[in-house]
Amino acid sequence: MAEREKEIQNQIDTMKEIRKKAGLNRREFSEYMGIPIRTLEEWEAGRRKMPDYVLRLIVYKIETEEYFKEKGIQNMKKDE
């Protein structure tokens, strides 16, 4: 497997893992993150490579929210 293919497969695996950790299906995840569903589908199918920084930000957001949830700290979004 070429280096780029390995990198894309790693992104796919990471994205699916973080989406499962969030407990959301693709449509729910795309709405929650503000990512068009087609873009998310393209990333998870390996047809498009997402920018590395986007994946890092998604992982950071989900893991940070999980941490706060475990600590009993409520979400402080202004739009809710």
- pTM here is 0.80
The residue written with tokens 């990471």 in the block is 14
Question: For residue 20, what pLDDT is reported?
Answer: 92
Question: For residue 75, what pLDDT is reported?
Answer: 64
CATH code, residues 3-70 = 1.10.260
Over residues 21-61, the pLDDT tens digits come to 999 999 999 999 999 999 999 999 999 999 999 999 999 99
| Position 80, amino acid | E
DSSP-assigned letters across all residues of 24-71? --HHHHHHHHT--HHHHHHHHHTSSPPPHHHHHHHHHHHHHHHHHHHT
pLDDT-based confidence at residue 74 (cuts at 50, 70, 90): confident
Q: Taking the domains of the chain in order of start, what are their residue ranges?
A: 3-70
